[in-house]
Amino acid sequence: MTDFYAKLGMKTVINAADSYTMIGGSRMPPEVVEAMAQASRHFVSLDELHLRVGARIAELTRNEAAVVTSGAAAGLAVAAAACMTGTDETQVRKLPYPNGMKNEVVIHRCQRNGFDMAITQTGAKLIEIGDVESTFAWQLDAAIGERTACVMYFPSTQYSRGALPLEEVVRIAGARGVPVVVDAAAQLPPADNLWRYTEAGASLVIFSGGKTLCGPQSSGFIVGKESLIAACRLHVGPRISIGRPMKVGKEELAGLLAAVERYVGLDHAALKAGYEALVCSIGDGLREAGFDAARAYPGPTGQDYPLVKVDMSRAPLSAEQLAAALRSGEPSVLVALTWDKRDIIVNPLHLREEEAAIVVERMRSILAGLTNHEE
């Protein structure tokens, strides 16, 4: 079928960057698409489907309970709301005005990020602890009070510098009877992260369905303690609540379950070997083309897979210029930049072999064009 995007006059993009929503996140494997198509053909009780799919995802991820959301960002809102209202339906209807409720969410200052808005849109108030460089146990302890709904925690390596270890957060919050919510949206692989954070004592852990899992883009899920997951269910729709605009369709429920089933059943050692081989061949190709490329590890948020890092310090163009040339070229290629924007990252997570070859060729031809020009 050529092609939905072509008909709209649009170019598709080769994703050498990451599971970025702005270019579509990830690609759904055929079994996920098929599950969504099957689910689309009938009417069914959405409440019951939520319960059944949640139970199955809990089982597959070795957790007590699970609930499906319309993404990890929605998961943040739903989890924060659940920690504020519990299963009290009167309170559920009050949000985003948490009058008389616990409405404070404790968060490391060094873990603040753009997704905070998903938390504050519920009416929750963020209470920051520590600074960008360090956080002390007493600061967490002092921030917890009668109005604390939960402590939010981001295990991404991007936010680890200056943060207390999760185990310590769980110990301190646990002693005060306060749940810890972990945003693990992008923390796969390894697959055992699906149960590692709950095993470490987190009460709720949020995953994105549309990143490494390759489920529907508008899906995600929360795993954790049954009592809190029950409260989350009151906020995911279909009933009226603050989560109603974040409702999950039967197709997303079916597709996400198929994606989780597929992911836990994958041969992860073979997958990892595949990433290593791809990184190796991309690195070889780029060095041959004159780039200063090397294997880097771990993945962008600390995941267990390798990357190719291209050191641009001696190149005749900047990392940003090269990225822009790749993006506007034919075919269009999106690469990532390092945090300081000085170097290029080629990420194998969503790259097919033939696409990897195109990425190398596009980079080679841009560099060769410049070098010839100078001669």
Ligand X SMILES: *Cc1c(COP(=O)(O)O)cnc(C)c1O
Tell which positions 335-364 bind ligand X, by CB under 6 A.
none
The correct pick among 189, 215, 216, 220 for binding ligand X (CB under 6 A) is 220
Task: Rounding to the nearest 10 degrees, give the CA dihedral for residues 70, 76, 81, 83.
Answer: 130
Stretch that binds ligand X, among 67-75, 87-95, 333-341, 358-366 (CB under 6 A): 67-75
Interhelix angle 226-233/72-85, nearest 10 degrees: 110
The correct pick among 14, 32, 186, 323 for binding ligand X (CB under 6 A) is 186
Tell which positions 143-182 bind ligand X, by CB under 6 A.
154, 156
Q: How many residues of this chain interact with ligand X, rule: CB under 6 A? A: 13
Question: Do 180 and 170 meet the contact criterion of CB atoms below 8 Å apart?
Answer: yes
Asked if residue 73 binds ligand X (CB under 6 A), the reply is yes
For residue 73, give the amino acid letter. A
Asked if residue 208 binds ligand X (CB under 6 A), the reply is yes
Q: What angle do CA 182, 183, 186 make, to 5 degrees?
A: 135
Cβ 265 to ligand X shortest distance, Å = 22
Instruction: Write the DSSP assignment of 13-56 as a string of letters.
Output: EEEES-S-GGGTS----HHHHHHHHHHHTS---HHHHHHHHHHH
Cβ 73 to ligand X shortest distance, Å = 3
CA distance 76 to 97: 17
Nearer of residues 29 and 86 to ligand X, judged by Cβ: 29
Question: Do 186 and 210 meet the contact criterion of CB atoms below 8 Å apart?
Answer: no
Asked if residue 80 binds ligand X (CB under 6 A), the reply is no
> Within 13 Å of residue 16, how many CA atoms lie on the same side as its CB?
30
Cβ 25 to ligand X shortest distance, Å = 7
Nearer of residues 15 and 91 to ligand X, judged by Cβ: 15
| Residues binding ligand X (CB under 6 A) | 21, 71-73, 115, 154, 156, 183, 185-186, 208, 210, 220
